[in-house]
Structure formats: C-alpha cells, structure tokens
Homo-oligomer: A and B are copies of this chain.
Amino acid sequence: MDNASEIDDLKDIVNKLRKRLKDIREEADEAAAPKVSPLAPDNFPTLPDIDGVRFAAAAAGVKYQDRADVMIAEICEGSSIAGVFTKSSTRSAPVLDCQNKLASLASGTKTKGKFAFVVNSGNSNAFTGGAGFTSVHAISSAVADTFDVTADQVFTSSTGVIGEPLPHDRILAVLGDLKAGLAPNTIEDAAAAIMTTDTFPKGSTKTVEIDGTSLKISGIAKGSGMIAPDMATMLVYIFTDANISQATLQKIISGQNKTSFNAITVDGDTSTSDTVLVAATRRAEMAEIKSNRSSQGRAFASALGEVMQDLAHQVVKDGEGATKFVEVRVTGATTVTNAKKVALATANSPLVKTAIAGEDPNWGRVVMAVGKSGAVADRDKLTIKFGDITVAENGWVSPGYTEDDGAKYMRKQDLLVHIDLGLGNATSTVWTCDLTHQYITINADYRS
C-alpha cells in the first residue's frame, strides 16, 4: 500500500472515530438534560382573561439568572379567596402566613380592598427560622405599599431550595417593575416565573355555563419533584370570575383537592411549601353561589375539579425524569381507605416504577405492592389488568395472557394499571410517572 492510500485510510478511520465520539457525546448530553418532558403538552393553552385579575412577572435574580423568577397576581376588591396547603409539620413560613391570613378571612373578618398573590422561585424560604417570617412580612408590607393592598391580603409563596435565607431585598427591588407590567393577559409569564426544575409551564382552563352566564376558570401550576399526596411540591393558582362565597369556595376546593392534587405522586416525598390558592373575583353577572350542594355549586365544583385534575396531571407529566404517565386505578376494595392504600403503595413502589421505566410488564411487582400496602386483600380474588389486558386473576397469571401482549402495551406512553381487589365496591385512582435514571441525575445534583 502506498503512502497516499494509507493516509486516506487513516483519515477515514479518524473521521469515523470522531463521528462515533460525537454521537456518544450527544447521547450523553441528551440523556443528561432533556429540555422538555416527553409527556409535555404541545403548547401552553390559551387562558382567557379573568375579569378583575392582572398579572406581572420580573427577573429578581433570587437564584436563577436571566429569567423571570417573581410573579404577582393582583386581584380585585370583593373577591373570595380559598386555599389548601401542605400538612408537613415543617412547612414553610409563607405557608404558615397564608394559613393565618385565610383563617382570618374564614372567621368573617371584613376584607379591605384588593388582594395579591406574590410568588418567587429559586428559594423556598422553608426552615429559615425567624428570618423566614421576617422575609414574608417584608414582602407583604412592601407589596401592600406598592400595590395599595392591605398587608393582610397579600399571600406569598416561595419554592426552591430549603434552608437558605430568602434574599427578599431582591424581590422588593423589582416591585416597581412588576407594578408597571401589570396586565390581564400575561398569566403565561406568571406560570413560567414560578418554575424550578419544571420543564414546561402549566396552565389549564374551563368555562362553565351557570344560569345562562358563562363563567371562566384559569389556573396555573408548578411542580415536578417532591410530589406526593398532602401534597405535591406544588404551587397552584386558580382564578375565576364566579360569584361565589368564600366559605363555599373553600368547601369546593377542599373537596376537589382529594381527587386532583392529593391523588398524584411522583416520589412519595411531600414538600414543605405546597400551596393551592383560588381567587373568585365575583365579577360574573350571576346570583352568588352560596352552597356547594346547590346545582350551581355542583356545576362550578365539577368545572373547577376538571381544571385542578388537568393541572395535577401536568405536574405528574413533568415529574422529574418521567417518560410514562401512569394511572393506577383500584376497584373492588372494601373501603376507600383500602383502595387508596393499594393505589399509593403501587404508585410509590420504586420496583413498580422502575419496571414501567424499563417497559417491563412485571405484574409480579404489582402483586408485591398490593401485598405490602396493608390493605385488606385476598390473593385469589385479585385481578390485575394493564389497560384492557387481563394479566393476572384467581391467584395466578391469566390463561390468555402472553408476555408479548404485555410488553407491547408497556411501550405506550400513557399507561393504566388496573387492580381489582374483588372484595367490595370502593375505588381510588392515583396518577404517577415512572422512575428513571434522569430522576437520579436531577436529584443527586440539584444544588450544584
């Protein structure tokens, strides 16, 4: 072989090797940081303006640079406000403050003028001792001054790292910009400002006709890790023009919470900051909804519940590292408590969740989860289905089941694991995602 052809051959080898290295690097990069969850909706939905609510977002540099990290919602006088919060015994200063303020409203304290929701991302102001309350009060007072709101009607939330003091001066420094930016149609900017490890902003809307008036409901949410009942690490803000009393709104949101935000789990971990706030501006032309049991109350609850469930599903779909959206549906239980025990034991099982990540129809792990749940169960009455495929029944694998059928089903992105206990009529449904390498990558290195 002459020199020229040897050079050509070597150059060819070099090129191939370089190409291979480039591919490997690209694969590694992609695996390390997918830009957006594969389960994300195609677009942020178009949310209608809610009469009486204006939004603004700004970049305060609390932790993130070069992006908006503070949002405000200014809500008109006369609105009804309701909320539900984490039950964590180490919950954050902003959560405790919101709970106190809502308790005052619930006890019949007369409201004075407008309301504000103020939210920052990057720092959760949780486990920050007395300084946590100092920050909340500083933000509440400054927002009150700038936006002409009573400090008692300023509700703050913070999400991000636990245990580091909140540099609230940075937030105060952008209040002027926030005020100048207030607009009724910028809720998407607000949804983006409250993201932390989220890969997409979350919004949902529903209109509902009540007594001839079309009511609007628009909601936004953030959350993708530390997601579990009671509740997710999750912040949710929902706005409606419904004319509804504070007490009725509170009853409805507490009820709908059970089958939405309290029925999702990413990793069984519960945040110190979870907050769902709903504001009803009462601007719609309608008689006041005074009872959750009236036909109007039920219609509104159903529509609000749909928005809440949609947002809850989006939170799961942005579960850290998620590649599969999984509904765990339990039927045939003796009690709802037993049904929920089985649903949560299955949805939180690392072995079930890793099997789903691996597209492995490993129904034996579902049997294991039922067994460990502590719920009343009878092995020989149990039926397990993946979608419409009956996998196991009568204490063993179903006669018609084949691993090929199971494996094919598991390649779908949206999965249903249906467990029928065969003992009674109680049911429970929980939504979760799979447990992947990416979850580990995100959480083993969150703070660095």
Chain A positions near chain B (C-beta within 8 angstroms): 3-4, 6-7, 10-11, 13-14, 17-18, 20-21, 24, 86, 88-91, 124, 126-131, 161-164, 225-226, 228, 230, 267-272, 348-351, 354-355, 357-358, 360, 362-365, 367-373, 375-380, 382, 392, 394-397, 435-437, 439-441, 443-448
Chain B contacts for A437, CB-based, 8 A: 437, 440-441
Distance of A139 from chain B, by nearest CB (Å): 19
Query: Could you say which of B14, B370, B396 contacts A128, with CB atoms under 8 Å apart?
Result: B396
- 19 residue pairs of the A-B complex, CB under 8 angstroms, read A7-B7, A14-B17, A88-B371, A88-B372, A89-B377, A90-B367, A129-B396, A130-B396, A131-B396, A162-B367, A267-B351, A268-B268, A268-B350, A270-B371, A272-B368, A355-B443, A358-B448, A360-B445, A437-B437
A95 → chain B, closest Cβ, in Å? 11
Q: Which residues of B contact A7 (CB under 8 A)?
A: 3, 6-7, 10
| Chain B residues with CB under 8 A of A373 | 89
Contact of A364 (CB < 8 Å), options: B126, B130, B131: B126
Q: Is the CB of A162 within 8 A of B364?
A: yes
| A448–B392 alpha-carbon span in the complex (Å) | 20
Residue A448 contacts which of B24, B91, B228, B360 (CB distance < 8 angstroms)?
Answer: B360
User: Which residues of chain B are near A228, meaning CB under 8 Å?
Assistant: 372
Which of B14, B358, B377, B380 is in CB contact (< 8 Å) with A10? Answer: B14
Give, as a whole number of angstroms, the nearest-CB distance from A172 to chain B: 22
A370 contacts B90, CB within 8 Å?
yes
Bound-state Cα–Cα, A397 to B128, Å:
7
In the bound complex, do residue A163 and residue B21 qualify as a contact, i.e. CB atoms below 8 Å apart? no
Given A14-B14, A90-B371, A228-B372, A395-B443 contact (CB < 8 Å)? no
A268 to B226: give the CA distance in the assembly, Å: 16
User: A90 contacts which of B269, B379, B435 (Cβ < 8 Å)?
Assistant: B379
Residues of B within 8 A of A14 (CB): 10, 13-14, 17
Q: Judging by beta carbons under 8 Å apart, are B444 and A355 in contact?
A: yes
Contact residues in B for A376 (Cβ distance below 8 Å): 89
Q: Are A88 and B368 in contact (CB under 8 A)?
A: yes
| Interchain CA distance A373-B268 in the complex, whole Å | 11
Distance in Å from the Cβ of A328 to the closest Cβ of chain B?
15
Cβ contact within 8 Å between A354 and B91: no
Do B11 and A21 have beta carbons less than 8 Å apart?
Answer: no
Contact, CB under 8 Å: A162 / B11: no
Could you say which residues of chain B place their CB within 8 Å of the CB of A369? 269
Tell me the complex Cα distance, A13–B11, Å: 10
Q: How far is the CB of A225 from chain B (nearest CB, A)?
A: 7
Q: For residue A380, which residue of chain B has the nearest CB?
A: B129
Please report the C-alpha to C-alpha distance between residue A250 and residue B226 in the assembled complex, in whole angstroms.
41
Q: Complex formed: what's the CA distance from A230 to B185 in Å?
A: 54
CB pair B351 A443 closer than 8 Å: yes
| Chain B residues near A441 (CB-CB < 8 A) | 437
Given A14-B13, A228-B372, A270-B371, also A379-B443 (CB < 8 A): no
Give every chain B residue within 8 A of A355 (Cβ-Cβ).
Answer: 443-444, 446
Contact A364 B443 (CB under 8 A): no
- Across the interface, A270 reaches (CB within 8 A) one of B4, B24, B88, B368, namely B368
**Contact A269–B350 (Cβ < 8 Å):** yes
A154 CB to closest chain B CB (Å) equals 23
CB distance from A122 to the nearest CB of B (A): 13
Closest to A403 in B: B447
Tell me, rounded to whole Å, the shortest Cβ–Cβ distance linking A345 to chain B.
9
Contact, CB under 8 Å: B90 / A377? yes
Contacting residues, chain B, for A368 (C-beta < 8 A): 88, 90, 162, 226, 269-272
Shortest distance between the CB of A31 and any CB in chain B (Å): 10
**Which residues on the B side are within 8 Å of A375 (C-beta)?**
89
Contact (A127, B379) CB under 8 Å given A10-B14, A367-B162: yes
Q: Are B354 and A440 closer than 8 Å at their CB atoms?
A: yes
